[in-house]
Amino acid sequence: MPNRPMLVLSLFGSMALLGGCAHLSPQEETPPPVTAAQFEAGIQGLESSLAARCENQSHLLSLQRMEQRTLTADVREVGSLLRGLRGDIAALDDNNDEQTTKVVTECRAADDRLANKELLGRSEWIGLPNVGTYLQARVDSGADTSSLSAREITSFERDGEDWVRFKLGLDDDDSVVDTVRGSWVEAPVERRVRVTQATGEESRPVIELLMTLGPIRETVEFTLTDRAHLDYPVLLGRHFLMDIAIIDVAEDFLHERPKFPDTSEQTDAAEPAEDEAP
């Protein structure tokens, strides 16, 4: 019978040999060792990644500090404004009576400036005493000089001065004293104005006529031109309105029609014309 100790040693030797063969299996080979260049490249990549993260965190912290400083400045400014507002309210309370008196005084001054001016609508009746008729007029602060509709304007000389003779330029719908319609009117020429139109340049005479409008009685300069194609034979410009009248464009014919003797005059005034186009 074999020796027992030898049998045990032989068994252990066989097991060790089999175990060594198992460790040397091709499927479990040890990976190749890392070279110095590969190790250095890995370390540099790790350093770059860490540096980028640190830089991003530093930028975010800088933005937060800037926002904090801006918010702090805004809070301080709001506090300053509130303190100033409290001071203004206190001063307003102290001077309330004085300010009220000042406002009332200014309103009275404005009322005084308007008290001497006549209120006119956008359309009014006027009277021409020297001609002997009433006419409808459009009130227009956009026009410089007043205008009177005239036709058959003829220039002539009298006592060495320039005069014009004309008839009122009216259509059948214009309200006028019938005895004056078609009559000649004569007046000295004060000056002439040049007007440029699509058809060329035109010289128009300017005359002075006594005119009434409600309580107003003034000598007014009129440029003579044919307005028969327009709704109103008379246009009142700002030279007439200046310092004596104000306009309420929402109103029409605030003043009564002047009265002139005319046996054929109708009892009721004709209906006011519609506003002419600008």
- Give the pLDDT confidence of 32-41 residue by residue, as tens digits: 777 878 777 8
CATH H superfamily, domain 118-248:
Acid Proteases (2.40.70.10)
* Among 174, 165, 181, CA closest to 138: 174
The strand ranges marked E within the chain are 118-121, 123-128, 133-139, 146-158, 161-168, 184-188, 191-197, 200-213, 216-225, 234-236, 245-248
- Give residue 100's pLDDT: 55
Q: Which residue has the higher pLDDT, 22 or 228?
A: 228
- Give residue 157's pLDDT: 95
For the chain, give the percent of residues with pLDDT over 70: 75
| pLDDT tens digit sequence for 67-78 | 888 777 778 778
- Give residue 8's pLDDT: 43
For the chain, give the percent of residues with pLDDT over 90: 44
CA distance 141 to 231: 17
Please enumerate, as own/partner, the contacts of 264-273 that have beta carbons within 8 Å and a separation of 24 or more: 264/178, 264/179, 265/177, 265/178, 269/125, 269/175, 270/173, 270/175, 272/123, 272/136, 273/123, 273/136, 273/173, 273/231, 273/232
Residue 112: CB atoms within 10 Å: 9
- Give residue 112's pLDDT: 59
CA distance 183 to 276: 26
Mean pLDDT, the chain, integer: 80
Residue 132: CB atoms within 10 Å: 16
- Give residue 89's pLDDT: 80
- Give the residue extent of every domain in the chain: 50-115, 118-248
Residue 114: pLDDT band by 50, 70, 90 thresholds? low
- For 164, the token pair is 């014009």
| pLDDT tens digit sequence for 229-260 | 999 999 999 999 988 999 999 999 999 999 99
| pLDDT tens digit sequence for 164-221 | 999 999 999 999 999 999 999 999 999 999 887 777 788 899 999 999 999 999 999 9
